């Protein structure tokens, strides 16, 4: 027993490597890129699996280590690791005379079993009083933007709970299976036209294959059509539940060089059972790109869109990226209103690691035509829970985004500017309707329509208390200027917020 303290000390100073799922906030905070394609690190698919190194220093007190260096609970053996942490967001602020608040309590469990099985589970309970324009949207859709159903709380607040979970099994160096209830983000942009972390979560299963510089991802998911506003006249399913629909995505990825990545993604929405009397679509399980495009685009009730993604690193710290999504192209009517139905993204980003965190500057332009996400059926729009799977505004808009971040030790400051011009602002809903025919009109908005404009400016300064759990003390301000196409209809608001939080999930209030 006299050697027991020595054994503890030896274990304490040895660094421990573990694999965990990255969070949505990690895309901006922690560099996780790699030049090697593995099933858990396929470029452009987030969250990824991150290798973390834990180095324990038992010179500090237990309280200090847990507060600023380590996870609260850690269980480490040669067979696996488990990390359990509480999550809080206690913040307060003002928007004019309106008092804002966020009260979030939750738990996150990260774990790894040997080197083949990685998992992450999150539970949250929330009560919030939001800025007035966000509350108006929740009242309209009955859903927190990008999150879950919400119910009224108090005089002007909302109560909502959230659960997210992902599991990855990687039995070989060339194959992995991922299963969960969460939302994925595809691409290097702030926004995405394929799948976005601003969408509502869904139950999914994906398979990832890699060989050399090639990778293939195939995913299936179960989606819902609640049609809260009755806009689409979609009835409940025969069971009384929200109308279900089936989704499949296949993405082929190629890294011809260390600085270039090219991907092709195919998204398919299958008609629900009440319409086709089919509960299973064998073609949805076949991991062959463009198979469903050939089978269904011109012959069948289902809806298929395809996207080209390009990421080119032109300098060690600078890269260009883009997405080109096509729903339907009518070669004989390219000059008309709906001759080209799709979306495009162009972006440039500089990023540089400083200690643990990273600095970056990002410019991005997004544009989506009319009918980019819709089809000839209300039931097969690219949506889940009445919200787009890709860009959160959906279609028929143009948008500029500028973002920047500077990190100095534990201090992180970031700014955000975005301006979106779109029809039907602030609550765009055309993306879950059906294709609209404007005849011989031309342009994104057509000559008969004038888009509204919404501008968001946001700044934040935070002190990172704990790098492992991303616990932060922060202060932020946000300004919103909504200018309707009607000159008499304009709304401006300014909000400030201060608090203590674990920054894990992104809140997406900057597109309406």
Query: Could you please report the per-residue DSSP string of 317-356?
Result: TEEEEEEEEEEEE-GGGTTSTTSEEEEEEEEEEEEEEETT
Where does the pLDDT of residue 331 fall: very low under 50, low under 70, confident under 90, or very high at 90 and above? low
Residue 265 — φ and ψ, nearest 5°? -120, 140
* Average pLDDT score over residue span 103-127: 91
Q: Count the neighbouring beta carbons within 10 Å of the beta carbon of residue 149.
A: 16
- The pLDDT tens digits for 148-170 are 788 888 888 899 898 999 999 99
State yes or no: cis peptide before 47, omega within 30 of 0: yes
Residue spans of alpha helices (H) in 155-199: none
Report the pLDDT value the prediction gives residue 219, as an integer from 0 to 100. 93
* Average pLDDT score over residue span 80-90: 92
Which residue did the predictor score with more confidence, 494 or 146?
Answer: 494
Total number of residues shown for the chain? 512
Report the pLDDT value the prediction gives residue 14, as an integer from 0 to 100. 41
383-384 vs 318-329, strand pairing mode? unpaired
**258-281 CB burial, b ≥16 within 10 A, e <16:** eeebebebbbbbbbbbeeeeeeeb
Report the pLDDT value the prediction gives residue 72, as an integer from 0 to 100. 87
65 close to 86: Cβ distance less than 8 angstroms: no
Report the pLDDT value the prediction gives residue 286, as an integer from 0 to 100. 76
463 close to 410: Cβ distance less than 8 angstroms: yes
pTM for the full model? Answer: 0.88
Where does the pLDDT of residue 385 fall: very low under 50, low under 70, confident under 90, or very high at 90 and above? confident
Which residue did the predictor score with more confidence, 12 or 210?
Answer: 210
Where does the pLDDT of residue 107 fall: very low under 50, low under 70, confident under 90, or very high at 90 and above? very high
Where does the pLDDT of residue 2 fall: very low under 50, low under 70, confident under 90, or very high at 90 and above? very low
DSSP 444-480: SS-TT---EEEEEEEEEEEEEEETTTTEEEEEEEEEE
Map out the domains of the chain with their CATH numbers.
Answer: 4-502 (2.40.160.130)
**Does 6 have pLDDT greater than 50?**
no
* Average pLDDT score over residue span 346-358: 86
Report the pLDDT value the prediction gives residue 347, as an integer from 0 to 100. 96
- The pLDDT tens digits for 20-63 are 777 777 777 766 555 567 777 787 788 877 766 555 555 568 78
User: pLDDT exceeding 90 applies to what percent of the chain?
Assistant: 35
Q: Which residues contact 425 (CB under 8 A, 6 or more apart)?
A: 451, 452, 453, 454, 482, 484, 512
Q: Which position has the token pair 């086709």?
A: 276
* Average pLDDT score over residue span 174-198: 92
- The pLDDT tens digits for 364-382 are 999 988 777 877 777 788 8
Where does the pLDDT of residue 180 fall: very low under 50, low under 70, confident under 90, or very high at 90 and above? very high
Residue 160 — φ and ψ, nearest 5°? -155, 145
Q: Count the neighbouring beta carbons within 10 Å of the beta carbon of residue 241.
A: 10
**Does 103 have pLDDT greater than 90?**
yes
Where does the pLDDT of residue 495 fall: very low under 50, low under 70, confident under 90, or very high at 90 and above? very high
| Separation between Cα atoms, residue 282 and residue 435, nearest integer Å | 27
**Does 493 have pLDDT greater than 80?**
yes
């Amino acid at each position: 027993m006299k050697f027991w303290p020595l054994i503890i000390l030896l274990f304490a100073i040895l660094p421990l490597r573990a694999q965990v799922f990255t969070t949505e906030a990690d895309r901006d905070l922690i560099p996780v890129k790699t030049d090697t394609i593995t099933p858990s690190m396929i470029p452009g698919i987030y969250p990824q699996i991150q290798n973390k190194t834990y180095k324990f220093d038992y010179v500090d007190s237990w309280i200090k280590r847990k507060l600023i260096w380590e996870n609260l609970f850690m269980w480490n053996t040669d067979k696996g690791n488990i990390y359990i942490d509480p999550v809080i967001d206690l913040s307060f602020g003002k928007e004019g005379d309106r008092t804002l608040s966020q009260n979030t309590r939750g738990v996150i469990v990260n774990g790894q079993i040997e080197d083949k099985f990685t998992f992450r589970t999150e539970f949250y309970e929330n009560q919030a009083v939001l800025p007035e324009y966000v509350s108006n949207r929740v009242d309209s859709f009955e859903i927190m933007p990008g999150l879950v159903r919400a119910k009224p709380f108090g005089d002007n607040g909302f109560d909502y709970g959230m659960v997210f979970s992902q599991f990855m099994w990687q039995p070989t160096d060339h194959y992995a299976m991922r299963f969960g209830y969460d939302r994925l983000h595809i691409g290097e942009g702030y926004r995405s036209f394929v799948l976005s972390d601003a969408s509502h979560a869904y139950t999914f299963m994906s398979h990832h294959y890699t060989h050399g510089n090639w990778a293939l991802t195939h995913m299936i998911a179960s989606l819902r059509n609640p049609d809260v506003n009755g806009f689409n006249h979609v009835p409940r399913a025969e069971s009384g539940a929200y109308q279900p629909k089936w989704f499949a995505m296949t993405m082929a990825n190629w890294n011809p060089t260390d600085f270039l990545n090219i991907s092709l993604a195919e998204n398919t929405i299958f008609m629900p059972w009440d319409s086709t009397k089919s509960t299973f679509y064998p073609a949805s399980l076949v991991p062959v790109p463009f198979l469903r495009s050939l089978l269904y685009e011109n012959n069948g009730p289902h809806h298929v869109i395809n996207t080209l993604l390009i990421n080119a690193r032109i300098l060690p710290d600078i890269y260009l990226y883009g997405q080109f999504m096509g729903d339907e192209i009518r070669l004989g009517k390219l000059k008309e209103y709906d001759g080209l139905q799709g979306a495009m993204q162009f972006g440039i980003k500089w990023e540089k690691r400083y200690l643990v965190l990273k600095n970056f500057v990002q410019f991005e332009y997004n544009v989506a035509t009319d009918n980019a996400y819709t089809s000839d059926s209300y039931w097969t729009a690219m949506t889940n829970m009445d919200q787009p799977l890709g860009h959160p505004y959906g279609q028929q808009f143009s948008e500029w985004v500028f973002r920047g971040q500077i990190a100095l030790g534990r201090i992180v400051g970031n700014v955000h500017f975005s301006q979106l011009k779109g029809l039907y602002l602030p609550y765009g809903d055309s993306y879950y309707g059906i294709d609209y025919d404007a005849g011989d009109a031309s342009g994104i908005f057509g000559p008969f329509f004038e888009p509204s404009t919404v501008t968001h400016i946001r700044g934040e300064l935070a002190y990172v208390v704990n790098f492992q759990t991303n616990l932060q003390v922060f202060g932020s301000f946000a300004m919103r200027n909504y200018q309707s196409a009607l000159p008499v209809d304009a709304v401006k608001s300014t909000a400030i917020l201060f608090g203590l939080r674990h920054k894990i999930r992104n809140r997406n209030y900057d597109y309406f």
